[in-house]
Amino acid sequence: MHKRAVHEVFTILPPHAIVGCFQGPIMSFFTAARPRTSSLPNETLVAIFDGLAPSVLGDIARVSRRFNAVAERMLYASISITDSLSASSPYPAKTLRCCRSMLSRPHLVEVIKRLQIRWQGDFRTLEPQDLVVACLQVGVAFRCLAFLEGLDIFLGPANRTVVPSQPIHAVERILQGCQFPYLRYCSLGAEWAKDVQPYTTILPAFLSLVPSLRQLKLSDNHAALILAPDALPSLSYFRGSPDTAAFLLPGRPVHHLALIGQDSDVNRENLPKIALTSVPLRSLDLSAMQVRPQLLRSISKYLPDIENLKVRLALRHTLHYSLSGSTLLAALSPALHDFHHLVSFDLSPTEINSIQQANFAEEATLCTEWLRACPTLRRIVFPSGTEWQLADDGTDWLVG
C-alpha cells in the first residue's frame, strides 16, 4: 500500500482500532516502524500504546530507548499485583520485586498514580515473621510514592498471624511514616477474625495526613476510629462497619455510605451518629449484609434524606412457606412510606433462589403499590434484576 494511503487510514482510525490491527504481530510492526515513528511526539505514542496489556507494553519498552521512555511511564502509572502465599512460597515475591523496581527507578516516582496490592493464602501455613519482614520492606518503597492518587491494599492472611512482640496491624506496618498529599482513593484491609491484631493509632495518624482523600474503604476495622475534627475534610464516600462509620462520618461531607457486617450491627447507638454528616447523606448501600425489613424502618427514621438505597434482603429470616416472593416484597410498603426523598430502590443484590421469581405483572403491581407508599420513587430494581423506571408523566412504570 502506498505510504500516503497508509497515513490516511491511520488518520481516521482511533488509537485502539490501530492497536487492534496489530495485536498479534504487534511487536514486529513496532520494531519495523521504529525509524518512521522516532519523530512522533510522546503524546501520539501514548495514544497508540493506550489499552495495550502490560506484557505487550513490556515488550515495546525493549524496542528502543524512545519506546522504553514512553512505555515504562505507562506501565508504572497504574500498578496491580496479586501474590499467592503458601508454605513453599511464603513471601509475596511479585510485590517485593515491584518494590525493588520502584526504588531503583526514582525518576518514575512522580508517574505512579495508582497502586493495588492483593495477597491471598492460608495463614496456617505461613510463618508470622516472614510477612512482618515483607510488610516492612514494602513500606520502604511506599514512603517514596509522594504523588500517589489511588491506593488499594488487601493483605489477606498477613494479619492473621500473631506477633505478640510487635502489636501492630499488618497494613500499618506498610503505611507507618507514609504521606500521600494527593491521595484521593484509599482501600485498606486484610482477612479478619475476632482474635486478630486491631488497628492502632498509626491508622488515624496516616488518615490525618491525606487531606485530599475523597473515598475511603476499611474492610476489617470494626471498632472506633478517632480522628481530629479537621481530618479528611473532603471525604465524600465511606465503606466500612457501622461502628467505624459512627466515629468517622460526623462533621464530614460524606454523601455516599456503604456498610458491611451484620444488619444487627446497625443499631440505635450508631445510627444517630452516622446521621451527623455535614451534608445530607444521599446514598446508602446495604448490599454487603443480609437486611431484615425492620432495619429499613430504623434507617428511614435517622437518615430521612436518603435518595438512593441498595439492599440485600435477608429473605431466609422472614419468608414463610406459604408466602410467595411478591407477597413478601409487598410487606415493604410500610418501610418505604417513611422515606420522603427516596428516588431509587435497588433490590438486585437479594438472592432469589429460595423464592418464586416475580413476573412482570407482579413487579408492575408492586411498583404501583410502592409509589403510593413513597411518591418520590422513580426507579426500582427487583431481585430478578429487572429495572423499572417511572414515565416522565408519572402515570406508568416502564421496563428499563
Contact (CB, 8 A) for 162 and 197: yes
pLDDT of residue 353: 59
pLDDT classification of 162: cutoffs 50, 70, 90? low
How large a percentage of the chain has pLDDT more than 70?
A: 76
Whether 367 shows a pLDDT value over 50: the answer reads yes
Give per-residue burial for 178-203: e unless 16+ CB within 10 Å, then b: bebeebbbbbbbbbeeeebbebeebb
Interhelix angle for 128-142 vs 93-103, to 10°?
30
Residue 251 neighbours by CB under 8 Å, 6+ apart: 229, 276, 277, 278
The pLDDT tens digits of the residues spanning 187-220 come to: 999 998 887 889 999 999 999 999 999 999 999 9
Separation of alpha carbons 308 and 237, rounded Å: 14
Contact (CB, 8 A) for 118 and 75: no
Separation of alpha carbons 174 and 159, rounded Å: 12
How many residues comprise the chain? Answer: 400
How large a percentage of the chain has pLDDT more than 90?
A: 56
Contact (CB, 8 A) for 288 and 262: no
Contact (CB, 8 A) for 128 and 170: no
pLDDT of residue 17: 46
Bridge-based pairing state of the strands 344-346 and 185-189: unpaired
pLDDT of residue 49: 67
pLDDT of residue 103: 93
pLDDT of residue 195: 79
- Biggest CA–CA distance in the chain, Å, is 76
Contact (CB, 8 A) for 367 and 334: no
Residue 399 neighbours by CB under 8 Å, 6+ apart: 360, 386, 387, 388, 389
Contact (CB, 8 A) for 121 and 157: yes
Higher pLDDT, 337 or 354: 337
Separation of alpha carbons 178 and 136, rounded Å: 12
Distances (CA, A) of 343 to 41, 304, 321, 330, 378: 48, 12, 32, 18, 5
For residue 33, what is its C-alpha cell? Answer: 516502524
Which of 191-205, 299-313, 324-338 is the most confident on average? 299-313
Whose CA is closest to 296, among 263, 250, 253? 263
Give per-residue burial for 41-58: e unless 16+ CB within 10 Å, then b: eeeebebbbeebeeebbe
pTM, to two decimals = 0.83
pLDDT of residue 290: 92
Separation of alpha carbons 184 and 190, rounded Å: 21
The pLDDT tens digits of the residues spanning 7-40 come to: 443 444 444 444 444 444 454 545 555 545 555 6
Separation of alpha carbons 160 and 197, rounded Å: 8
For residue 269, what is its C-alpha cell? Answer: 447507638
Contact (CB, 8 A) for 159 and 134: no
The pLDDT tens digits of the residues spanning 108-121 come to: 888 899 999 999 98
The pLDDT tens digits of the residues spanning 238-288 come to: 999 999 999 999 999 999 999 999 999 999 999 999 999 999 999 999 999
pLDDT of residue 156: 92
pLDDT classification of 167: cutoffs 50, 70, 90? confident
pLDDT classification of 1: cutoffs 50, 70, 90? very low
Interhelix angle for 42-49 vs 65-77, to 10°?
60
pLDDT of residue 316: 58
Whether 43 shows a pLDDT value over 90: the answer reads no
